[in-house]
Amino acid sequence: MVRDSASEQNQELTLRDIFSLIWKHRFIVLLFSIISMLIAIFIAFRIPEKYESTAIVMPVQEEQQLSSQLLSQVGGLAGLAGLAQQNRSNKINIALEIITSRKFLAEFARKHDIEQEVVAGEDWDEEKAEWIIDTDTLNNSTSRWNGGINQEQHAFSDWVLHKSLIDKLIIVENEETGSFKIGFELFSPIDAKNWTTWLIDDLNNEVRQRDINQATTNINYLKEQIQKTAISEMKPIFYQIIAEQSKTMMLAEARKDYIFSIVDPMVVPEKKSKPKRFLIIVVGVGLGFFISSIYVLARRGASN
């Protein structure tokens, strides 16, 4: 007990000595903190502002395409022709894989002619309402990037476009509601909204076209089987499946929001999302105080 009391007293004296030493050299600590704060302010206001525009989307519910009774009647032909019923959650997972895929994002940038902004956009000019392109990275006259360029086609490679876009893309799932937040964080508040609009439209169109292509392939396959089969009882079943596949194609072409429906639409953001300037300044002041305190204690230790 005596040792514990003595230890606590020594610890208390040690802490008191530390605070006393810092207070004694408070002007040095204050100077370090002010310098650090000024550096933090300079850095905080040198970082370009970014704006986030997102939309809340919900997966679109769809009717079952083929009944289990029909599938059981055609047996192994269903799997062979790709007619087996696809789980809706799997279809959503496929859509999420598509939206982050190299092929989709590269085609997205080329389709909307935003390759330069994606790869070399370094800031946004509010007065001119246009992107500021990093000329050290991009030669505007020839549209050639100094790295990752496909020299034969004189275009950005899929890898470069994907890497640049994926860093700007926002996809967050709400597990409680099943909704998704999809959007972009960019230097341009206007393009943050525009790109998000294009992205969701392109994703719906991509999944729609995939299903139309699959249904077309299925119909052609079934028509071939009708010509080949000698079992007359099977032909009405094939025609019924063809009718279901035709229905799928018509619904796909008619439905605008095919895989995701927008619940809360994207808007042009009026408030920046980054940088968190106040946080940067607070961290800068704290870092200055910490470094100056270590300096004071180290100098005291060296003098002893």
Residue 78 in this model has a pLDDT that exceeds 70: no
Task: Please give the average per-residue pLDDT across 133-160, as a whole number.
Answer: 61
Collect contacts of 251-257 with beta carbons under 8 A, ≥24 apart: 251/62, 252/208, 252/211, 252/212, 252/215, 253/208, 253/212, 255/60, 255/208, 256/204, 257/60, 257/204
Query: Helix, strand, coil % (nearest 5) of the chain?
Result: 60, 15, 25
More confident residue, 139 or 36: 36
Residue 202 pLDDT > 90, yes or no?
A: yes
- What is the C-alpha separation between 60 and 278, in angstroms, rounded? 41
Residue 1 binned pLDDT confidence (cut-offs 50, 70, 90): very low
pLDDT in tens, 32-68: 889 999 999 999 898 899 999 999 999 987 654 444 4
Taking the domains of the chain in order of start, what are their residue ranges? 2-46+279-303, 51-274
> What does the pLDDT look like over 157-197, one tens digit per residue?
889 899 999 999 999 999 889 899 999 999 999 999 999 99
Band the pLDDT of 296: cuts 50, 70, 90: confident
Q: If pLDDT is split at 50, 70 and 90, which confidence band does 299 have?
A: confident
pLDDT of residue 6: 45
Q: Please give the pLDDT value at position 110.
A: 93
pLDDT in tens, 204-215: 999 999 988 888
Q: Is this model's pTM higher than 0.85 or not?
A: no
